[in-house]
Amino acid sequence: MSVGLWIQIILNGVAMGVLYSLPALGISLIWNATGLFNFAQGDLLTLGGYVMLTLFGMMKLPYIVSFVLTLAVMGLVGYFISRIYFYPMLEHRVHPQIILIGTVAASVFIRNLILVIWGTMPTTFKNPFGTKVMNLGGIFLMPHVIWILGIAAGLLILLQYILRGTMVGTAMRAVAQNQTAAWLMGIRNDRMIALTFCMSTAIAAVSGILITPIIPLTPDMGGLISVKAMAAVLIGGLGSFSGTLIGGIAVGVAETVFATLVTPTYKDVFIFLVLVAFLLARPGGIFRAHVSEKV
Amino acid sequence: MNNLRVFWNRYGLLIVAVLLLLVPQFTTQYEFYVVQRGVQNAMLVLGLVILIGYTGLMTLGSAALLATGAYTYGILLLRLGWPPLLGTIGAVLVTTLVGTLLGFPAFRLSGPFLVVTTVGFGEIVRILILNWEPLTRGPYGLSGFRAVMPTTRGVYYVMVVVLALLAVVTERIGRSRLGLAMKAVKEDEVAAEVMGVNVRRVKLISNALTAALAGLSGVFLASLTGYLNPDSFTANESTTYLLMVVMGGMSNVVGSVISSLFVTVLPEVLRFLAESRLLVYSLILLVYLRIYHVRSSKARAKSAGSRGRS
């Protein structure tokens, strides 16, 4: 195979991987803040995609407007999920296993809500970036690949700025580090955790919006994507920002390369085997997050 | 009230079993089929009582074990021409083996990490069934094998008796040395290890038992429907089983049997829910977890003396 073709495959893989990284980042953020592993992340992503479908595909709003509106709506959804559901359970120290079951139930609930509202037919909306293949010096790429990479990069920089450069972000990180100490410093834990949920849901929604040119929307697409996102989180290192990003890209590239070189049928199996191997050999992931809960 | 509870604890299972044995007398053919599915689901849920309720290992791969049992039965009968009884034994053995292998990741992983592994396992099994066409006929589905017993009624009575036996055994396991070890592992692994419990062995055994029950349930599923399709073993099914065991009270045997029957039969009673069945279930589960567990941990905090908020 020529070098150009390789670059093409890898760039496609990176674009796919970034889309896994975004929900994975959400999982990582929530894990840091609350010690809760959100199994509903993939379905929140799907919900974001469907909200976009309604705003952009059906109501014909301009792309930018519907993008921002979707983010706002999904952010609110995340905020309220935390306020009315997960924070009260965390506050009363409900057994972590019960909360875990709660996130699984939330995932099923959202999936079936989508099914009831929008139906089971795979749908998609017009690709806003155009469908003409671009030729960059012998490398053929769809324009959305470039756009995905650009938007994701911008989003990640924005996210880093919010977390590192603003008061709210600092407060969020303080809550993630030590809830009691943060509380004593006058930080409202409930608000910060709700904000974390809000942020991670909004990031997942970005991924749900951008993924539609690649994968059509179906109510249960969240399942497979969330497993990939979890793989990204665990391979990269749960709780680590750059680890999650790299883990997602690794999953995306590995999947695309495997699909091209070996067979697309078993690409998901391949990813799971890699994940299991990682969990057994290096449970902390590439960036060695702390997995063990005690001792 | 207290007497009633003692009475229920002693005879609850017997009452349920007798009611189940009477069911074929006054149901239509379709209703009968639904009840059969309920009994078959209850077998798998008993396994989950051991794994989730006793040992505290979460799983979302139960549908994959069910599929392993069902497909092994079908393949053994169709391709190798084994008689049904031998096929049943073979299927249960194969599923147990697969399930025990699934126990090994549980040595090092806990909580969400373990759940992700089981989700991955579920997807692998589903994809393999879908694509391994020479053996499973993939999306076309597998059919044409014989049922466990010649008559439907016969199968049903066997199922109810087996279920009752399994329920008694599960209950006894819960109170045995092994069951206490499992519960110790659930509460605190390190403390259990210090007390001389072989944590790895306990985890392997509970995985094996769960898998055996799932395999048996799969055999009866294959025998009931006579047709197997990869679409009936999705992650949604695993979640439904999880719902059944949680609604049953996690480690309550009779409760789990009743909740599996209830959750299976409910959509037939409430036909208008057909489309949104899982929506309603998950909502019930969400509300139940939120209200019941927050209240019970409030009560716990109160009885432990007020420590103030954290």
Mean pLDDT of B214-241: 85
Residues on chain A touching B61 (C-beta within 8 angstroms): none
Cα angle B63, A44, A240; round to 5:
90
Q: Where are the alpha helices (DSSP H) in A178-282?
A: 179-184, 189-211, 221-236, 241-261, 267-281
B236 lies within 8 A of chain A by CB: yes
Structural contact between residues A198 and A205, judged by C-beta atoms closer than 8 angstroms: no
Nearest to A49 by CA among A269, A238, A233, A217: A217
B110 lies within 8 A of chain A by CB: yes
Confidence of residue A1 (pLDDT cuts 50, 70, 90): low
Structural contact between residues B273 and A92, judged by C-beta atoms closer than 8 angstroms: no
In a domain, B101, yes or no: yes
Concatenated DSSP letters of B57-121: ---S-HHHHHHHHHHHHHHHHHHS---HHHHHHHHHHHHHHHHHHHHGGGGT--HHHHHHHHHHH
B93, pLDDT greater than 90: yes
Residue B300 tokens read as 């716990």
* Preferred mutation among B245, B282, B291 to probe A, highest tally of A CBs within 10 A: B282
- Give chain A's mean pLDDT: 84
Looking at residue A115, its pLDDT comes to 87
Phi (first) and psi of residue A136, to 5 degrees = -105, 85
Chain B, residues 138-167, CB within 8 A of chain A, namely none
Mean pLDDT of B192-211: 89
Phi (first) and psi of residue B228, to 5 degrees = -120, 135
Mean pLDDT of A160-182: 86
Q: Do residue B189 and residue B250 come from a single domain?
A: yes
Residues on chain A touching B281 (C-beta within 8 angstroms): 108
Residues forming beta bridges with residue B258, ordered by sequence position: none
CA distance B176 to B260: 24
Give pLDDT tens digits for A101-115. Answer: 888 889 888 988 898
In a domain, B150, yes or no: yes
- Min CA distance, B27 vs chain A (Å)? 31
In a domain, B107, yes or no: yes
What's the total number of domains in chain B? 2
Structural contact between residues A87 and A175, judged by C-beta atoms closer than 8 angstroms: no
CA distance A185 to A121: 51
CA distances from B51 to A243, B111, B182, B258 (A): 32, 13, 9, 18
In a domain, B247, yes or no: yes
Q: Do B108 and A283 touch (CB under 8 A)?
A: yes
Q: Do residue B248 and residue B274 come from a single domain?
A: no
Structural contact between residues B112 and B59, judged by C-beta atoms closer than 8 angstroms: no
Cα angle A141, A144, A149; round to 5:
95
B115 lies within 8 A of chain A by CB: yes
In a domain, B240, yes or no: yes
Mean pLDDT of B44-56: 89
Looking at residue B118, its pLDDT comes to 86
**H or E element at residue B228:** strand B227-228
Looking at residue A76, its pLDDT comes to 93
Q: Do residue B52 and residue B92 come from a single domain?
A: yes
Give pLDDT tens digits for A16-58. Answer: 899 899 899 888 888 888 888 888 888 999 999 999 988 888 8
* Preferred mutation among B114, B115, B281 to probe A, highest tally of A CBs within 10 A: B115
User: Residues near A191 by Cβ (< 8 Å), separated by ≥ 6?
Assistant: none
User: Residues near A286 by Cβ (< 8 Å), separated by ≥ 6?
Assistant: A235, A236, A237, A243, A246, A247
Give pLDDT tens digits for A185-240. Answer: 888 888 888 998 999 999 999 998 888 878 888 888 888 888 888 888 888 877 77
User: Residues near B267 by Cβ (< 8 Å), separated by ≥ 6?
Assistant: B273, B274, B277
Q: Do A279 and B108 touch (CB under 8 A)?
A: yes
Q: Do A97 and B124 touch (CB under 8 A)?
A: no
CA distances from A172 to A167, A169, A196 (A): 9, 5, 7
Chain B, residues 85-104, CB within 8 A of chain A, namely none
A4, pLDDT greater than 60: yes
Phi (first) and psi of residue B142, to 5 degrees = -105, 130
Q: Do A100 and B115 touch (CB under 8 A)?
A: yes
Give pLDDT tens digits for A51-110. Answer: 998 888 888 888 888 899 999 999 999 999 888 888 888 888 888 888 888 888 898 889
Structural contact between residues A225 and A275, judged by C-beta atoms closer than 8 angstroms: no
Looking at residue B305, its pLDDT comes to 56
Q: Do A108 and B281 touch (CB under 8 A)?
A: yes
Q: Do residue B252 and residue B278 come from a single domain?
A: no
Q: What is the pTM of this model?
A: 0.85
Buried b (16+ CB within 10 A) or exposed e, A167-181: eebebbbbbbeebee
State which residue of chain A sits closest to B53, comparing Cα positions.
Answer: A97
Q: Name the residue facing A272 among B124, B281, B293 (closest C-beta).
A: B124
Domain assignment of residue B297, given as a range: 270-303
Q: Do residue B284 and residue B225 come from a single domain?
A: no
Q: Do residue B276 and residue B216 come from a single domain?
A: no
Give pLDDT tens digits for B269-304. Answer: 776 666 677 788 888 888 888 887 777 777 777 776
- Min CA distance, A203 vs chain B (Å)? 21
**H or E element at residue A140:** strand A139-141
Looking at residue A294, its pLDDT comes to 38
Number of A/B CB contacts below 8 angstroms equals: 137
Is beta strand A134-136 parallel, antiparallel or unpaired with respect to A139-141?
Answer: antiparallel
In a domain, B171, yes or no: yes
**H or E element at residue A21:** helix A3-34
Q: Name the residue facing B60 among A104, A179, A220 (closest C-beta).
A: A104
Buried b (16+ CB within 10 A) or exposed e, B148-164: bbeebeebbeebbeebb
Looking at residue A292, its pLDDT comes to 41
Q: Do A223 and B235 touch (CB under 8 A)?
A: yes
CA distance B146 to A275: 39
The residue extents of the domains of chain A are 3-222
Instruction: Indicate whether this complex's ipTM tops 0.90.
Output: no
In a domain, B205, yes or no: yes
CA distance B83 to B85: 6
Give pLDDT tens digits for A249-293. Answer: 999 999 898 988 888 888 888 888 888 888 777 766 666 555 444
Cα angle A77, A78, A79; round to 5:
90
B138, pLDDT greater than 80: no
In a domain, B19, yes or no: no
Q: Do residue B182 and residue B230 come from a single domain?
A: yes
B179 lies within 8 A of chain A by CB: no
